[in-house]
Structure 1
Amino acid sequence: MRRRTVRFSGIINDIPLNYKFLLIFVIGVLLPIIVINLMFMDRMSNLITEREEQNLQISLERARKDIHNFIDGGVAVSHALNTDKTLYEMLERRYESPITFYDTFDEQLRHRVNSYIPVNSQILRIRVYTDNTTIVPGSSYYNLSNKVKSSEWYKLWKQSSDKVVVGAYTETRISDMAVTSPYLSVMEQLDSFDGLNTYEKLARIDLDLDKIYDVIVRERDYLTLYLVDKHNRIIVSADKTLSGGAQQAYPVFELPQEADSDVHVVSIGTASYVKGWKLIGVPQGTRLSKATRDMQMFVFMLAAGMALFASGFIYMMLRSYNYRVKRLSRHMHKVTNEKFDLIRMDEGRDEIGGLIQSFNMMTARMNSLINNVYKLEIQKKSLEMEQVRAELNVLQSQMNPHFLFNTLNAILVVCTKNNYTDVTDIIKSLSKLLRRLLSWKEDLVTVQEELRFLEMYLKIEKFRFRDKFEYELDIDPQALQYKIPKMSIQPLVENACKHGLQAVEGLGTVQISVKFIEGRLGVTVEDNGIGMTEEKLAEITQAMSSENMTGSSIGIRNVFRRLELYYDDQVKFSIMSEWNEGTRVSFEIPMKLMEQSKEGLS
């Protein structure tokens, strides 16, 4: 029995490794993937997704139609009022007294406007405004007073060039002036009859937002709906806290972080008064998730049965080489620790056996090479490294920055005693500048730290040029916490002072700005110096991409190359200059590639 087991293992070991992998792949991997994925996963996933997508489209279209009908109903009432000639005549009449107006009101005006509300349940109220001061305000008729003209809804209508305006706004309640409520109104100027235009007349029809809210809530099993105006403000949503009111303003729509990326957007209508209005639907995901989980459970049960069958077959194939591969792996790991032990076992005649034989030959040769050649070479390299390290120490010892700082401190004491205030400040700035240059600890620093260093340099230049030099900083405070390569702004400013302003007879100005520009951090250095000719500008641009480190554009080239290396050639770097008008150097870094300082701004 023992001999039969050894013989069976030997036969398996003699099978070429390619055939073993082929059998493992076909029977143990390919067959289950084909059966499970082709028969169930692909077909059922597509069916479930298509069904839910249809349900979402139906839900979104149903809600859109209802909301569109609500708004169109209000517009239809507005048009009806605009063509009511009797209403025009009553509003154009001058009334001698309130009693005269009340008589006309009882006869003609009392139910003329409100009669539209019972048949249009989405209308909350209808108001007609006029600057005819003989009309007593109340019921549905109001004067166009200064208070009305200063209201948000009137300004909204006034700013629009359309004849009919549908607008959302907030307004204090008449019953409680301390409470602000959201409104959605249809506004139209009543000017259809040429002979009846003595007074300005305006119709305002307030729609019931609760009706629209009910439509949106009705569909929340499928979608989280948002009614958004042309300014991308949320007018109505299932969450009432996102619809104006107590917030004093309608919030701007932002896609929730937990929402699925498949957001459905549909326009409310094509009319001019709803142009830009959208209904946005964010899928809930629960229905699709449940259906997918049920399908996955079914597939899992099927896959489990197939896996049991495949596992038994794969085990037989893997058992023949698993032990030998592990032995080979352990001995290869020993090689990394300079232990070159041979593998002593029955290798077999397949590819793994040949690999073990080759490994034994390789380890024997490596052991001989390391003992006779490699160790001697390592000793030689170590000696050379020690010599280089010693030379570096000698060079570093020749440059002792303490002597420079002590000299500056001595000058500073003399200037302080003699009240040389300007010189004292400049020496302090120069000392800080030199310390920063000599202590290059990190390659990336915050914009705030870079600007501190820049201001020290600018103070020195200001002392140098006196009244002929001014500088301006325009910095976005939000940018101070982002990190940029060290010394990426100062060389640009130094070039502006050195090459741009020295030859200027009048006042030289350098402007430095750091701002956000469309998802990028933009840094700009601009001067009003002598500028450059087109030939000089082309020469500098060519030198920036050259490997030659000589010339007068080393500073700009170093900044450009470091930005390219740090941000994978995704930085926009530009130089613009005109002769006798100045130079503008700028670069923009994608914010997604930048780091932020974890420490607070100081």
Structure 2
Amino acid sequence: MRKFNLNNVHLKNKLLIIYFLSVFIPILLTNIIFYHVTTGNVKKQKMQDLTLAFEQIANDFSNTVDEAIGVSSTIYTDDTLHDFFETEYETVTDYVIEYESTFRNFNKYSPVYSAIKSITFYTDNHSMLFAGGIEEITENIQNNHWYQDITQLQYSHPIVRRTASIDTFSVIRQLNYFQTNTREKFVKIDLNTEIIRQAFGNIAFQGNIYLLSEHGRIEYTTDSEVPRQHSTYFTDVHSSSKDSTIFEQEFDLNYLDGWKVVGVVSENAILEGVQNSRKFILYLASINFLVPSFIIIWISSSLHARLLRIVRHMKRMKNQNFELIDGVEYKDEIGQLTSEFNRMSQKINDLINDVYIANLQKKDLELKRKQAQLSALQSQINPHFLFNSLETIRMRSLLKKESETAKIIQNMAKLLRNSITWGKDWVTVEEELKIIQCFLEIQQYRFGDKLLFEIEVDEEAKGFMIPNMSLIPFVENASIHGIESKKGNGFLHIKIEKISEGLRFTITDDGVGMDKERLKNLVDSIQTKEDMGESIGVKNVYYRLKLHYGNQFTFDIKSSVGQGTKVQIIFPSKRV
């Protein structure tokens, strides 16, 4: 696995990495943290505000009831009022006189205490007139739940009950303070309905308020969906409110024993302030995100575009396009790099014009010189070969005086024709073999049975292209220097085969051969740039192969005295 290296990352990706690590991620994390902290603070403050509002509601209701409780305590201990209800009146006149002097004083509580709507006394004293705030304890009264609750109390303390509707509450108390009490009597103080609504309708508490009795029954609520005609329990309502926050406060008073105020606020109401602040956070985050992003993109685009322009011009240089970079030469590092590139490009272009072109001209002259040398080498083969051929014909004609020379003359004509058309540098193996065949027939005509030869050629090797007259000098050396100097008959074997490296030419004779020293001198003289001297044909071929193939061809000579000589050449498939 290749190890990660920042130097292998493209500049554009590096700028993106800088952007994400230095701008995007820090801003994103900062805003997320800021949002959560702000949300927590807003929610905490909201909960504190709701708690204070809820406590205020409970306290307002408790204070309202306390006013009525205070009035009930005053009435409870008033001995004059006790005597008024205990007296058996003989006539209506006596009752009216006593009512006017005693009872009317208690009507002053209603206008003094705003929490009190009205005060009603109930008694079983039938000598009294039941009017003007005094009512008879009838069977209907006895059937009311608040009457049953007050009569079942073991201790003498007031109770608070919903008496008429869900909005009407009353403080009820038995008047049995004195031991001389002989009659049943109690007072019912109705609380001001509007005061109750104001107490529970605190706009600072954004939820529903439920006043619950000791049995969990809803006695009062601001929830408009709760039916007012029937007894509804809070558990029935709250079971459908799962995503809500519950506020609860129980009254620690004997007359409100088990009663409590419950507030239910939905999460949406609590988070309303958070949602309002969310827009501000989003706006602030957008500014923090967009402004740095714009600045980084603006600066990075300047760097990236200018560097890409330099890279494009540098790539064009490999195609010898030394176009200069146009534009203002800025003073930053990229501007300096651009200026240096233009200076380098101009310098290279000048060097090419001054040095490279001059070098090409020199190479061209050198090539022409080598071509002239090659032509000179080639031209040296023809006179040398024709001299030997013509000398053979002359000697044969002088000795035998026969017309059989027609065949040899025909072969000479072929050789002469090939010499005239020397300008053809490359020929096929098949064309080269025709010249070799003519030469060997001439030599065989000269030596008679002294020279025997065999030519073995692969069919696929006949079309291989080789330099013109690159094989015949070795055939000439083998026949003249190898076979001719030998006593007795000689055999010459030529083999041409196609191999993976190219073409392999092998010529073997069983002539006189050479000793090691002479062979070494021959090889050294061929491979060094000496004057032609001896072995001109072999040297010509070696130099021509050197010019055409460089060091890619293989040339090998092996020889032993009395056993003959073997020459092997491997022609590569490609030329230099």
Give the TM bin, normalised by the shorter chain.
0.3 to 0.5
| Larger relative contact order (Cα-Cα within 8 Å, sequence gap ≥ 6) | 1
- TM score, norm. by length of structure 2: 0.44
Higher Cα Rg, which structure: 2
